[in-house]
Amino acid sequence: MSYSNIGENFNPTVGFTPRNDFQRAAGSIGYQWFPRSRLINRHGPGAETETLWNETLGVTDELHTLFYRIQFQSLSTITMAVSNRYTYLFFPFDPTRTGGKALESGTDYRNTFFRMNFFTNPRNSFFVSGRTEIGEYFTGNIMTLAGSGNYRYGYRANISMNFSFNRIRLPEPQSSADLFLIGPRIDLTFSKSLFWTTFVQYNNQIDNLNINTRLQWRYAPVSDFFFVYTDNYFPTTFISKQRALIAKWTYWLNL
C-alpha cells in the first residue's frame, strides 16, 4: 500500500508528479497457486485500487481493478482484468483529439472496461507482447488493439515493430474516430562506443509520417557526441512538413 500528500506549493516541473494539491492512496493484493504442471508455473487472482482527491473537490480520480494472471513455465504471461475508472475533468477535453467538440471542464465520468495483456518469453531472440481493451470511454465506447514484435540479435541489434489501433465511438456532438499508429525501430551496436538508432512512425491522428535517426559516439566515460536527423512528412504526398539536423556534444567533468 502507498499514500502521498502533494501540497499546493509543490512545483511539479521539477519532479515526477505532474500536478499539485492532491492526496493519493493506492494498494494491491493477490494470491497465487503453484501447481505441479509442466505448462503453468503460477496463477491466481488479484486486485488493485487507486484514488486521488483534494479538500476542495473531493475525489477526482479512481481506478479499481480485479484481475487473474497466468504465468507459464516459459515465462509467457496472460492477464485478464476488469476495471472501473472515475475521471474528473479539470479542463475541456476532446477524447479523440481530432478537433471535435470538447467535453466541458468540471464534468465527471465513470467507465467500466475489460482488458487482456499477454507477452511471450522475453529471453527468446524473438518475442511479442499485446494488449486489447474494450468497454466504456467517457460518454461512449472504445476498442483498443496494441502490440509489438521484437527481434534481438545478441548485443548487436534490436529490431521492433509497434502498433496501436483505437476505435472510439462517442455520441454527438463529440467526434468518433479510428486512430492508428505504427512504426518500426532499429537499434544497432557497432562497438562499445558507437551506436545507431532509427525509428519510423505513422500517426493518422495528426496525418504525419516521422523519421528519426541518431548516431551516438561515446568518446569518453559518460561523454557523448550525438548526430540526429529528423523529418516529418504528409503521408499521401511525402511532402516534408519540417526537418532538422542536430548535433549535441556532452562531456562529463569529474571535479
pLDDT tens, residue by residue, 49-105: 999 999 999 999 999 999 999 999 999 999 999 999 999 999 999 998 888 889 999
Contacts of 213 by beta carbon, 8 Å cutoff, 6+ apart = 196, 197, 198, 228, 229, 230
In whole angstroms, give the CA distance from residue 71 to residue 40. 6
Task: Report how far apart, in Å, the C-alpha atoms of 234 and of each of 53, 194, 199, 201 are.
Answer: 43, 32, 17, 12
Tell me the pairing of strands 194-203 and 58-72. unpaired
pLDDT at position 47: 98
User: Would you kindly state where each structural domain of the chain is located, as residue ranges?
Assistant: 22-182, 190-255
- For residue 136 the three cell numbers come to 466504456
Q: In the prediction, which pLDDT does 205 show?
A: 87
